[in-house]
Structure 1
């Protein structure tokens, strides 16, 4: 969507004490606090492998709001001094004279190891009839996309349409059949692997119609779409990785609003739990985004970092009880012997959460957590055997990384 124009639209008391931890430089939670919160065990099964994670990221559109600065690029993509984003989304301009504006941030993102994905909002005007791509311009449009890819030094994937099913958009629209027809005819000539069809609302019928074209499906590297107005859901056995390539939660609320940041945390959880491989925010730098106009990482940015820094591309999601305790949401990942758990605690009280581990061996975790008053606070604790428990800070996001 053109985000300048469109906006999409518990307090429980602690009833008893909580015993926390102290042990030299290591910390271990051993006793449950007695909140009046229904709770259960989060069972992590490392032997049950689910989707491969491609990463977490955001968009930079220089011709609309100016490019990211060098400092902002570091804060976006560094895993040590920033959020740790591993995906950059950019726009394919309609004029080749604007291609070069994309390259500095593209090069910087690649330097941090990020994947770059590019979406076209429109074809050049000469190739369009109103807001539709001329069928006689298919080859010319593919050549335009290929020229962009070459000019910026190559992208990981390219999308020929942005929300083609959003009729109120003012940019190039198409039916799922029309998008599929273009990809079937010219998908090999666009200079980069195809990601498509990128519908608004992650519309299932749009995906299904698009993928019913066997040739287009074969020429599509992965499917992508935007979650505006939809709840994350599993698309079923479509034979393609699923990327959520654009969303924001509220463009009128500061990125430092903690309640809104926690809404985003739960949404990322839901996307991963639905079997999706990637989560991409809208503008990286925007007052309601992960970095503000003063180049500060916002609370939203630190919440994204709880995923992006530690769940890296190529990690696989593994089976885990998604909602073991009222208000607590857990996803689990692994890479080789490393295990990562990301836990969203929506409760306003300290919440004890027990875990069991199977199919993996863990002797301890480094813990990182963000609350309304802390950013990526860190400590560590040991694990003995296949079970442990920790006290989660009230209204927090916690990431556990095995040692």
Structure 2
């Protein structure tokens, strides 16, 4: 605040300051208000400690995005309705492009998954399946018997054949979470199983799906060269862990399960903003996918009354507009205090997602390198609005916009 008063005493506006900071672009940045008109950003703008241009570099390609999705477990909480499937997977709804399902221990329950699987695939979604347990006849306490490996692979294959079109399969769910009631396993054991039986499970393998996205567990698994060669991508869950880059492991990384808070409504806006920041962090860590826990649950993206919640609208800011096959491109991750940005491209199309965690309107300037953009469609969600749409033009690949207080904004180039 003292710095702000000092600047004002000198007659220097925030706009002037932002132009000085971004002078290396030698381009003029306009503040576009929510109605598409120029605005004076010195008024009603947050006093931020850092005010710098977010540079989007389309020439610097990072990970390929595989999608955003959620979990359905009919044998635990009932299947999604037709309306809920449409709201989850269509791009007029949330736009999820990944469905995660459970492999039941009994073949009599395989059909419970199929209706939602078929609907999701109909919208172009990838289906990934995880087994919590092997059939009890193959288990020794909480562990899979080595003598039952072939039988377990046959069980998994029977499931994939029954439901059809499984993109990838995980034989274990959080095998390192020993407090759980589901099947345990060491990284070495799981790698040995995949090396021996990975080709017999009916679908490509996603492994090792550890709790905490435990890198030691992942690295130990990948040290088995045969298992690694039979693994389509690395998967894991971030409970208790801030997303981080796993380094050059030679595999795409998918975050296949998490939720922010199971005791708070999905319509609680601060909680939804936490989800927005979490997805941003996963993408910034270099990961290819983000999968929420239950699709339909009061704390999730769709509630029990089939309404898309605030968490769902936050997910839509990524899932609707950053489609499978888009690539993440270099973008200033935290250009201003409280502002977090990521950017993506498909051909010449650019998508920018900006999250403003500040409690006041915050002006953010942008500069784009590597592709020419003339205008954007803008979608904004706040505590009181959902995907409010507008558009604006830019010049010289530079612009600035006011980000509403506590909001998420997606910009899609035309």
Whole-angstrom distance in 2 between the partners of 1:129 and 1:294: 41
The answer to whether the 8 A contact 1:352-1:390 is kept is: yes
The answer to whether the 8 A contact 1:29-1:390 is kept is: no
Q: In the alignment, which of 28, 32, 40 is matched to residue 41 of structure 2?
A: 32
Residue in 2 aligned with 1:114?
125
**3-state SS of paired residue (1:74):** helix
- Within a 5 Å distance, the mapping from 1:142-291 to structure 2 comes to 142-291=153-302
Residue 35 of structure 1 deviates from its aligned partner by 3.0
Whole-angstrom distance in 2 between the partners of 1:215 and 1:377: 49
Q: In the alignment, which of 44, 60, 68 is matched to residue 56 of structure 2?
A: 44
Whole-angstrom distance in 2 between the partners of 1:22 and 1:306: 19
Whole-angstrom distance in 2 between the partners of 1:86 and 1:264: 18
Residue in 1 aligned with 2:24?
none
**3-state SS of paired residue (1:256):** coil
Residue 208 of structure 1 deviates from its aligned partner by 0.5
Whole-angstrom distance in 1 between the partners of 2:31 and 2:147: 69
Whole-angstrom distance in 2 between the partners of 1:126 and 1:225: 27
The structure-2 alpha-carbon separation of the partners of 1:171 and 1:53, relative to structure 1 and needing over 3 Å to count, comes to same
Residue in 2 aligned with 1:4?
none
- For residues 36-55 of structure 1, the C-alpha deviation after alignment (integer angstroms, 9 at most, x for no partner) is 11311100000000000000
Residue 17 of structure 1 deviates from its aligned partner by 10
Q: Report the TM-score, using the length of structure 2 for normalisation.
A: 0.91
The structure-2 alpha-carbon separation of the partners of 1:298 and 1:328, relative to structure 1 and needing over 3 Å to count, comes to same
Matched, 1:56 2:68: yes
Residue 21 of structure 1 deviates from its aligned partner by 4.9
The structure-2 alpha-carbon separation of the partners of 1:386 and 1:96, relative to structure 1 and needing over 3 Å to count, comes to same
The answer to whether the 8 A contact 1:28-1:390 is kept is: no
**3-state SS of paired residue (1:71):** helix
Q: In the alignment, which of 294, 297, 301 is matched to residue 312 of structure 2?
A: 301
The structure-2 alpha-carbon separation of the partners of 1:354 and 1:22, relative to structure 1 and needing over 3 Å to count, comes to closer
Residue in 1 aligned with 2:383?
372
Q: Which has the larger radius of gyration?
A: 2
Whole-angstrom distance in 1 between the partners of 2:40 and 2:403: 12
Whole-angstrom distance in 2 between the partners of 1:344 and 1:101: 38
Residue 32 of structure 1 deviates from its aligned partner by 3.0
Whole-angstrom distance in 2 between the partners of 1:246 and 1:170: 17
Matched, 1:337 2:348: yes
Q: Report the TM-score, using the length of structure 1 for normalisation.
A: 0.94
Structure 1 unpaired stretches of 5+: 1-12
- For residues 353-374 of structure 1, the C-alpha deviation after alignment (integer angstroms, 9 at most, x for no partner) is 0001101110000000100000
The answer to whether the 8 A contact 2:326-2:344 is kept is: yes
The answer to whether the 8 A contact 2:329-2:343 is kept is: yes
Structure 2 unpaired stretches of 5+: 16-29
> RMSD of aligned C-alpha atoms?
1.8
Residue 22 of structure 1 deviates from its aligned partner by 7.0
Instruction: Identify the range of structure 1 (207-216 vs 26-35) with the bigger mean alpha-carbon deviation.
Output: 26-35
How many residue pairs were aligned?
A: 388
Matched, 1:91 2:85: no
**3-state SS of paired residue (2:121):** helix
